[in-house]
Structure 1
Amino acid sequence: MATQGLIYPVQKPAQGAAVELQPGVLWIRMPLPFKLDHVNLWALREGRGWAVVDTGVWTEQAMGAWEQLFADALGGLPITRIICTHRHADHAGLAGWLAERFDCELWMPHIEYHAAQTARQQGTSAPDSEVEFYRRAGWNESALSSFRTNYGGISSMIHPLPEQFCRMCDGDVLRIGDDDWEVIVGHGHTAEHACLYCAERQLFISGDQVLPLISSNVSVPPHHPESNPLGDWLTSMVRIRDKVSSEALVLPSHNECFLGLHTRIDDLVGSQQRLLVKLQDELRESRRSVDIFKCLFGRDIGMGDGIVLSLATGESRANLNCLIAMGHAERVVDHAGVEWYCATERRERVCG
Structure 2
Amino acid sequence: MDNAAAKERERIKPPDVLKYPFEPPKADGSHVEIAPGLLWLRMPMPMALDHINVYLLKDGDGWALVDTGLGIPRTFELWEQIFTEKFAGQPLTRVICTHCHYDHAGAAWWLQERFNVPLIMTFGEFMMLRSLMGPPPDPLPQSHRDFYARAGVTDEELDKMVGAMRKDPFMPRHPGNYQRIRGGEVLQIGEREWRVVIGEGHSPEHACLYNEADGILLAGDQVLPRITSNVMVSPVEPEGNPLKFWLDSLQRLHSLPADTLVLPSHQGVFYGLHDRLNQVREHHEQQFELVREYLAEVGKASAAELMVVLFPRLRGPVDRLMALGETIAHLNLLKQAGVLLRQPGAGKIEYFSLA
In the superposition, the TM-score normalised over structure 2's length comes to 0.90
1:326 aligns with 2:320: no
In the TM superposition, residue 33 of structure 1 has moved relative to its aligned partner by: 2.0
Work out the CA distance in 1 between the residues paired with 2:117 and 2:74: 23
Q: 1:251 — aligned with what?
A: 263
Moved more, 64-73 or 216-225: 64-73
Q: 1:166 — aligned with what?
A: 179
Please show how residues 140-219 of structure 1 align to structure 2 within 5 Å.
140-154=154-168, 157-162=171-176, 164-219=177-232
Which of 135, 138, 152 is the aligned partner of 2:152? 138
Q: 2:275 — aligned with what?
A: 263
Which of 311, 319, 325 is the aligned partner of 1:314? 325
Q: 2:307 — aligned with what?
A: 293
Q: 1:350 — aligned with what?
A: none
Instruction: Tell me if structure 2 keeps the 8 A contact 1:16–1:69.
Output: no
Q: Deviations over 1:190-239 (max 9, x none)?
A: 11111000011211011001100001111012200101111111111011
Instruction: Tell me if structure 2 keeps the 8 A contact 1:183–1:197.
Output: yes
Q: What RMSD over aligned residues (CA atoms) do the two structures have, in Å?
A: 1.8
Q: 1:128 — aligned with what?
A: 142
Work out the CA distance in 2 between the residues paired with 1:121 and 1:316: 22
Moved more, 178-187 or 146-155: 146-155
Q: Amino acid of the residue matched to residue 230 of structure 1?
A: L
Work out the CA distance in 1 between the residues paired with 2:222 and 2:106: 18
Work out the CA distance in 2 between the residues paired with 1:94 and 1:222: 27
In the TM superposition, residue 144 of structure 1 has moved relative to its aligned partner by: 1.6
Work out the CA distance in 1 between the residues paired with 2:98 and 2:168: 18
Q: 2:24 — aligned with what?
A: 12
Q: Percent identity?
A: 37
Q: Amino acid of the residue matched to residue 144 of structure 2?
A: E
Instruction: Tell me if structure 1 keeps the 8 A contact 2:40–2:53.
Output: yes
Q: Deviations over 1:238-260 (max 9, x none)?
A: 11111x21111100011110000
Which of 338, 344, 350 is the aligned partner of 1:339? 350
Q: 1:23 — aligned with what?
A: 36
Q: Deviations over 1:9-67 (max 9, x none)?
A: 10100013222111111111111122111111111010121110010111112112222
Work out the CA distance in 1 between the residues paired with 2:104 and 2:169: 12
Instruction: Tell me if structure 2 keeps the 8 A contact 1:293–1:301.
Output: no
Q: 2:62 — aligned with what?
A: 49
Q: Amino acid of the residue matched to residue 157 of structure 2?
A: A
In the superposition, the TM-score normalised over structure 1's length comes to 0.91
Instruction: Tell me if structure 2 keeps the 8 A contact 1:89–1:154.
Output: no
1:127–1:278 distance in 2 versus 1, CA, 3 Å: same
Q: Deviations over 1:261-306 (max 9, x none)?
A: 0010011112212321231122222111111234323x2436xx11
1:246–1:272 distance in 2 versus 1, CA, 3 Å: same
Work out the CA distance in 2 between the residues paired with 1:114 and 1:257: 29
1:293–1:147 distance in 2 versus 1, CA, 3 Å: closer
Work out the CA distance in 2 between the residues paired with 1:145 and 1:3: 38
Question: Unpaired runs of 5+ in structure 2?
Answer: 1-13
1:273 aligns with 2:288: no
Helix, strand or coil for the counterpart of 2:74? helix
Helix, strand or coil for the counterpart of 1:150? helix
Which structure exhibits the higher relative contact order, with contacts defined as CA atoms closer than 8 Å and separated by 6 or more residues? Answer: 2
